[in-house]
Chain A
Amino acid sequence: MTSLTHLQRLEAESIQIMREVVAETENPVMLYSVGKDSAVMLHLARKAFAPSPPPFPLLHVDTRWKFRAMYEFRDQMAKDVGMDLLVHINPEGIEKDINPFTHGSAIHTDVMKTEGLKQALDKYGFDAAFGGARRDEEKSRAKERVFSFRSAQHRWDPKNQRPELWKLYNTRKHKGESIRVFPLSNWTELDIWQYIYLQSIPIVPLYYAAERPVVERDGALIMVDDERMPLEPGEVPMMRKVRFRTLGCYPLTGAIESEADTLPAIIQEMLLTKTSERQGRVIDHDSAASMEKKKQEGYF
């Protein structure tokens, strides 16, 4: 009898979850945020259904404020894997020109991400959506089940979750309900990096340390990715060697100073770190229990 490594166990678990969803639901979709977790999730989906491409499309809920490198990477990946890529931008957000600078991170996230996601799920009638969230990212994500049920209004009730004993998943749902499925729930950030390294999974270059123009905002290093980033009067961005542990909208994502420009160096850094990757996300610090509140309202 062969024993599996911890990564092989996690991989097997994720593949089982994906196959279960495809077998039990009618119209699944994989949310693709272009980050490292999405890259691993996509890789697992391709493995789960090989040699065919995965039997569901990719959905990117675009806020128009992602890093340029992320858009380039997204389009390239969609071309390479041969899957349908659906991109949805909240039309109300475009109309009102919602952005993180003039409207603040809370409104921007609510309109462009939460509402945008709900619109896209309704528009295409998806009844299950894979997401790359992990329990170690944030405490409200830690208590969410692998199969997380949402009401017809896409709301999450953390006090009404189904037990998942012995990894048996109850996929029955009422009319109008949908499921958010998290195949990477039990992975840690370190597992993700080790898996990316072992499987040579392509990721956005922003994860590697390089000299980039940054400005300091409330103690966070914010990269100046394009001319839309408003600078303070007289401000000159500094070139500093930084990398991103997490990628979101660029004005709301803080970089960290790092010398890790290879995967082994990143893994080494991960082994020594004592903070969550989401400390760099401005939206997580909007208010107390911010993430749980957003999730109840429909955020991923």
Chain B
Amino acid sequence: MPDNLNKRRHEAVRLRLDGHTVAETSQRTGLSAPTVSAAWKAFREGGWESVDVRQRGRRTGQTPRLGEAEQRVLRQCLADWPPSPQPGWSSRELVERLAVATGQKVSTRAIEHWLAAQGLKPAPVRLEGLERKRSAAGRWYRQQVLPVLEQIKQANGTHWQGGVRVAPQAHDDAPCRYQLYLHGKRGALLTRCFTEPPNAGYYLTLFERLATAGPVALVFHGAFFRASSEVQAWLSEHPHFHLLSVPADAL
């Protein structure tokens, strides 16, 4: 809590002690009337020591952490496809799996914090920002992405963004260095990890899982699919699956 606020609260109490009204005190300190009243009430109940605003929330470093056993279960989960037909693990599905495996119930938020701590929570890319750019990336977005997204919208299809990357905090002895990630409509993260760079078989499994929901547009970053004959052959057999590879250095 900023010291400045506490100083103003003390000043408000002094003004009230001098006989100023709440409105006058509020005007002179710049605090709202309810804050002036709250400071005055705190002083009357607990003296000057109570006027300061207390630290809110949990203190840094006191967050309950997932135990080693739970983390192991999560890592094992991420190294395989989820049992549901989803194209990757969501935090909700990880919670359910953890509850089954260890009997421990944790929140989805705890899982998301754990993913962030492991460097496995990439932020969704804001492609819309490219629309007005006069660069090659901007042209790619306007000429290739926008028409496909419009087409998918009209066909009631789904639109995903995703990519593959080396996990930023991965070290040499980390079991899973490579991460496949997807962001859905509201930025929800679905992910899976690999010990080696994912091969065409893994990508095709991902595409198959995505394609079950009808027409799909997938804007993907981090793989050079042009060099993979397997992926190219699959794409030619699935015209309703639109794979849009993000050009190099566009993001």
Interface residues of A, Cβ cutoff 8 Å to B: 210-213, 215-216, 224, 227, 231-232, 234-240, 257
Contact = CB atoms under 8 A, between A and B. Distances in A.
Contacts of B164: 238
A235 B202 CA distance: 10
Contacts of B166: 238, 240, 257
A155 B231 CA distance: 50
B249 A211 contact: yes
Nearest to A240: B166
B22 to A, nearest CB: 56
B199 A238 contact: no
B200 A237 contact: no
Interface stretch (B8-16, B32-40, B62-70, B221-229): B221-229
Contact of B223 (A210, A227, A236): A236
B199 A239 contact: no
Contacts of A257: 166
Which of B221, B223, B227, B231: most chain A Cβ within 10 A?
B227
B199 A236 contact: yes
B199 A237 contact: no
B242 to A, nearest CB: 18
B230 interface: yes
A224 B224 contact: yes
A257 B165 CA distance: 12
A237 B227 CA distance: 7
Interface of B: 164, 166, 178, 197-201, 203, 221-225, 227-228, 230-231, 248-249
Which of A212, A216, A227, A240: most chain B Cβ within 10 A?
A240
Contact of A238 (B200, B223, B249): B223
Which of A216, A231, A237, A238: most chain B Cβ within 10 A?
A238
Contacts of A212: 248
B140 to A, nearest CB: 14
B224 A238 contact: yes
B228 A239 contact: no
B224 A210 contact: no
Report, nearest first, the 7 A-B pairs whose CB atoms are least far apart: A213-B224, A211-B248, A234-B199, A237-B224, A234-B200, A236-B228, A211-B249
Contacts of B222: 238-240
A236 B197 contact: yes
Nearest to A216: B197
Nearest to B220: A239
B198 A236 contact: yes
B199 A235 contact: yes
A210 B249 contact: yes
23 contacts: A210-B249, A213-B227, A224-B224, A231-B227, A231-B228, A232-B199, A234-B199, A234-B200, A234-B228, A234-B230, A236-B198, A236-B200, A236-B203, A236-B224, A236-B231, A237-B223, A237-B224, A238-B223, A239-B221, A239-B223, A239-B248, A240-B222, A257-B166
Contacts of A235: 197, 199-200, 228
A232 B230 CA distance: 12
Nearest to B222: A239
Contacts of B223: 236-239
Which of B166, B198, B224: most chain A Cβ within 10 A?
B224
A235 to B, nearest CB: 6
Contacts of B197: 215-216, 235-236, 238
A222 to B, nearest CB: 12
Nearest to A236: B228
Contacts of B201: 234
Nearest to B197: A238
A257 B168 CA distance: 12
A224 B228 CA distance: 12
Which of A215, A224, A231, A232: most chain B Cβ within 10 A?
A231
Contacts of A210: 248-249
A263 B201 CA distance: 40
A213 B200 CA distance: 15
A258 to B, nearest CB: 13
B227 A224 contact: yes
B249 A236 contact: no
Contacts of A237: 223-224, 227
Contacts of B198: 236
B248 A236 contact: no
B244 to A, nearest CB: 14
Contacts of B224: 213, 224, 236-239
Contacts of A227: 227
Nearest to A210: B249
A300 B34 CA distance: 82
A273 B224 CA distance: 29
A211 B201 CA distance: 24
A216 B222 CA distance: 14
Which of A216, A227, A234: most chain B Cβ within 10 A?
A234
Nearest to A213: B224
Given A211-B249, A216-B197, A236 B221 contact: no
A92 B201 CA distance: 40
